[in-house]
Structure 1
Amino acid sequence: MDLRHNEIEGNSEPTQSLGQTSHLALDIGGSLIKVVYFSISRDNCIDREQESSANDTLGFSNGNCKHPILQGRLHFAKFETSKINDCLEFISSKKLHLGGFQHHENPGKNKNFIKATGGGAYKFTELFKENLGIDLDKEDEMDCLVAGANFLLKAVHHEAYTYIDGQKEFVQIDQNDLYPYLLVNIGSGVSMIKVDGDGKFERVSGTNVGGGTFWGLGRLLTKCKSFDELLELSHQGNNRVIDMLVGDIYGGMDYSKIGLLSTTIASSFGKAVSDNKELEDYKPEDVARSLLRMISNNIGQISYLNALRFGLKRIFFGGFFIRGQPYTMDTISVAVHFWSKGEAKAMFLQHEGFLGALGAYVSYAKHSIDDLVCNQSMQLPVSASYTADPNYNPLNGDFNDNESIQCSVYAA
């Protein structure tokens, strides 16, 4: 896959400008279903044997490869797992499942399959077979998370960034100095994976306090009906109404001897112990804010402690819990910076929620990740592209067919 001239466009609609769809992959998690699919541009297939100049234009990685190059776009979409029928309808309406893919390992196997990962790839196997007439060709979840992260960090120049003091700064990734790193994937739960290379990784830790915790507790405490509604509500709140701060204990003073500012949270939800109030006496937005702060802080701290175990300075955070939200990223960044005394940095990914789905997608390829074209001169015009759709706010992280990456892939 060549992303040299990639770009992200808002409100991309493949049925208007693109032709046939080739390859679809799913990551069916406990809370969300992530979808990645490639649509081929009409009349834009280049045969490498006929076009020798294509090597300069598309940046082929292997001059001996005889596969044609397909120009098109990678599209991203997500659905709540509890509303899986919406996902099935989306796939059916766009005919994404009709590509007729052939197994390389077993040519005699049923052509009607799509790559899938996550627990739902097992749980909903029969549902996809009954509704769409396709098999789910299952890929290991951890394999896909790592493959998706490695692919993005190698193939997309402006993929990783830091978020400090409200400023987003993209990070130049040296492919020769990528490993090792810690990948923290925040889904319903949290997995922390030490990545040493392509296909070389170890899940070193995790926590059951993750996105599912935020959503579940938030729904019970605020009556919000969706993750996005809860996240939006948290932005309107003030966690200091509920959280007990160091200053609350020390009469507004810092605890300078051990380096704690008066604004440091001493106990999440701590004021609820002594306020003599009922749940309905607190504003839902304050509860949501405190909950988001508590979980983000916890994840940031545990992540750094695991990075410390292995001497890792680079920590990448992925998963749909983050959603590009400034408050979440700021809290995680501050936690990593505080506990590492500034020696480690939290880094985030543009396509944070689609690591597993992308990993499942690249598993279609005959070649390995090393054969994917990764050119460090690529530019990703984020600001211009995101503003193309006035209804799309990148900080909300809503990728429901609002984002696509222009790219080229080898036809299998």
Structure 2
Amino acid sequence: MDPAEVRNEEIPQASHLALDIGGSLIKLVYFSRNDNSHTDDKEQRTLNEGLGVSSDGSCPILKGRLHFAKFETSKINDCLEFIRCYRLHLGGFQHHETPSNKIIIKATGGGAYKFANLFEEELGISLDKEDEMDCLVTGANFLLKEVQQEAFTYLDGHKEFVQIDHNDLYPYLLVKIGSGVSMIKVDGDGKFERVSGTNLGGGTFWGLGRLLTKCKSFDELLELSHQGNNRVVDMLVGDIYGGMDYSKIGLSATTIASSFGKAISDNKELEDYRSEDISRSLLRMISNNIGQVAYLNALRFGLKRIFFGGFFIRGHAYTMDTIAVAVHFWSKGEAKAMFLRHEGFLGALGTFMSYGKQSYEGLSVDQATQQFPMSLSHAGDKIYCPLSQDLNDSIECSVYATQHHS
């Protein structure tokens, strides 16, 4: 669907648009009211009284959904067109008029600085910049506390949702895999420390993948890896030991001894290797490294819970399995890798929640109205990449907002 072809009746009544503009991807979160969310004065008063809300209606209850979308940062004009066509920057109560009549939208990530002028010139939007790490942790805490079946383990093809004990959530290690990787020790709401990271992340996979395979997109590279065999490219322990394990130190014959190691002795040129095998090896190399470094940092601080997020994962089975195996191997089974259904939207969700810090006292989700899975509005539009099927959802919720008058 081209944004220019959107009919008026397809445009949601949206509010609280929030942006996370990263080095590789732009993530959007916005809230839209349900069609039946409007109530007359009598109904509103009855509802307010039942919730202990003041009779003047200063605490509106807005039932609706949180929606998610993403774009490649290199195609930022598609993002601008999406916002313009769906009028996401104009609806609802999320924006405040400045003396120059510019609309203020919450945003985080490096692109909130880099592209600030572009948003102002194209849409008349002034970006109110929120700290990236604050938003990331806020988004993760929100999901882990408020959304049922958010966290899960994935090992040997088996997916199992994890029941989160809200009284025993902290501390945990949050591993955010974007263009690069940040590892954050989270001790509570607003209490966190970035303890480590690595420059070998999603940008590395995509960048090297483009150079080695000529793929035009991250998703194309991932799709290739489905059909690849990394053993054609990687040097295994068995290749060194004549097909045998190195059992004395716990290494099986199929353990990777050196990623891309066979290229040393194969006497082949790049064009002699299949792109599918290269992409598989590259994905395995980076995922293994992230899983190992994450566990070593968890060990450093005595953390048993490790949550992985970021659009590098994409709900991709092989990626999750590789990370999980690395954590399992290095921890000798004592630690587990856990993944998040809304993995790539942590920063954008945290930015969304930041509307509660200034103009509103708080935003929360009514768990009684949550339903999973649900369809993502306008999923499959050509201008942005849809989430994988089981993650292709929105959150139905009630937003409680109390407005300040400063």
TM-score where L is the length of structure 2: 0.88
The answer on 1:87 being equivalent to 2:79 is yes
Q: Take 1:54 and 1:202, find their aligned partners in 2: how far apart are those partners?
A: 41
Residue 279 of structure 1 aligns with an amino acid whose one-letter code is: L
The answer on 1:21 being equivalent to 2:14 is yes
Deviation at 1:40, TM superposition (A): 1.2
The answer on 1:408 being equivalent to 2:404 is no
Q: What are the ranges of 5 or more consecutive residues in structure 2 without an aligned counterpart? A: 1-5
Residue 343 of structure 1 aligns with an amino acid whose one-letter code is: E
Question: What pairs with 1:12-411 in structure 2 (closer than 5 Å)?
Answer: 16=9, 19-45=12-38, 49-52=45-48, 55=51, 66-99=58-91, 101-102=94-95, 112-366=103-357, 373=364, 380-382=371-373, 385=374, 397-398=387-388, 403-411=393-401
**CA contact under 8 A between 1:114 and 1:137: conserved in structure 2?**
yes
Residue 177 of structure 1 aligns with an amino acid whose one-letter code is: D
Q: What are the ranges of 5 or more consecutive residues in structure 1 without an aligned counterpart? A: 1-12, 56-61
Deviation at 1:306, TM superposition (A): 0.4
1:9 counterpart residue number: none
Residue 348 of structure 1 aligns with an amino acid whose one-letter code is: F
**CA contact under 8 A between 1:24 and 1:97: conserved in structure 2?**
yes
Deviating beyond 2 angstroms after TM superposition, the runs of 4 or more aligned structure 1 residues are: 13-19, 45-50, 52-55, 62-66, 99-103, 106-111, 366-382, 385-392, 395-399
Q: Take 1:193 and 1:368, find their aligned partners in 2: how far apart are those partners?
A: 28
Deviation at 1:89, TM superposition (A): 0.2
Distance 1:67 1:356, change over 3 A: same
Matched-pair identity in %: 72
Deviation at 1:77, TM superposition (A): 0.4
Q: Take 2:21 and 2:295, find their aligned partners in 1: how far apart are those partners?
A: 28
Residue 397 of structure 1 aligns with an amino acid whose one-letter code is: L
The number of aligned residues is 387
Residue 22 of structure 1 aligns with an amino acid whose one-letter code is: S
Deviation at 1:157, TM superposition (A): 1.1
Deviation at 1:372, TM superposition (A): 5.0
Residue 23 of structure 2 aligns with an amino acid whose one-letter code is: G
Could you tell which deviates more after superposition, 70-79 or 369-378? Answer: 369-378
Q: Take 1:283 and 1:165, find their aligned partners in 2: how far apart are those partners?
A: 26
Deviation at 1:212, TM superposition (A): 0.1
**CA contact under 8 A between 1:246 and 1:263: conserved in structure 2?**
yes
Secondary structure of the 2:216 match is: coil
CA RMSD of aligned residues (A): 3.0
Higher relative contact order (CA 8 A, sep 6+): 1
Secondary structure of the 1:299 match is: helix
**CA contact under 8 A between 2:226 and 2:276: conserved in structure 1?**
yes
Residue by residue over 1:136-168, the C-alpha shift from the partner in whole angstroms, topping out at 9 and shown as x without a partner, is 000000000000000100110110000011011
Q: Take 1:121 and 1:324, find their aligned partners in 2: how far apart are those partners?
A: 26
Secondary structure of the 2:187 match is: strand
Distance 1:300 1:403, change over 3 A: same
Distance 1:125 1:145, change over 3 A: same
Residue 82 of structure 1 aligns with an amino acid whose one-letter code is: S
